[in-house]
């Protein structure tokens, strides 16, 4: 997984934290977005290096998710830099998600 990949986070399932008990910044279920940063996932007192992805979603939100729960929809071209253009949006074109 790389910064710039278009991804979808999985659906909520039994065993996940209840949505009402989950901080807004971690409610990524079913969301589609672009990975804007990769970092360390913290689970209790454990830290998992490079297993957190920060997604910029189609709702113009930044959501932190665990990389093991993400499906890549479209791989980004490898680049040494990435910029977010806040005037762009993720759109659904008959099931094909595009960055416009």
Does the residue 82 lie in any domain?
Answer: yes
Domain span at residue 70 reads 6-99
Number of domains into which the chain is organized? 1
- Asked if the structure places residue 46 within a domain, the reply is yes
* Tokens, residue 49: 């290096």
Count of all residues that appear for the chain in the document: 100
Residue 82 has pLDDT above 90, yes or no: no
State residue 45's pLDDT score.
93
1 located within any domain: no
pLDDT tens per residue, range 25-70: 777 788 899 999 999 998 889 999 999 999 998 888 888 888 999 9
| Residue 41, in any domain of the structure | yes
Residue 11, CA atoms < 13 Å, CB-side half-sphere:
2
């Amino acid at each position: 997984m790389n910064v710039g990949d278009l991804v979808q986070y999985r659906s909520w399932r039994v065993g996940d934290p209840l949505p009402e008990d989950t901080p807004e910044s971690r409610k990524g279920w079913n969301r589609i977005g672009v990975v804007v940063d990769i970092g360390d996932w913290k689970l209790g007192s454990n830290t998992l290096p490079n297993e957190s992805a920060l997604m910029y979603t189609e709702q113009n939100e930044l959501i932190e998710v665990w990389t093991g729960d993400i499906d890549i929809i479209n791989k980004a071209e490898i680049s040494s830099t990435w910029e977010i253009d806040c005037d762009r949006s993720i759109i659904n074109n008959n099931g094909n998600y595009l960055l416009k």
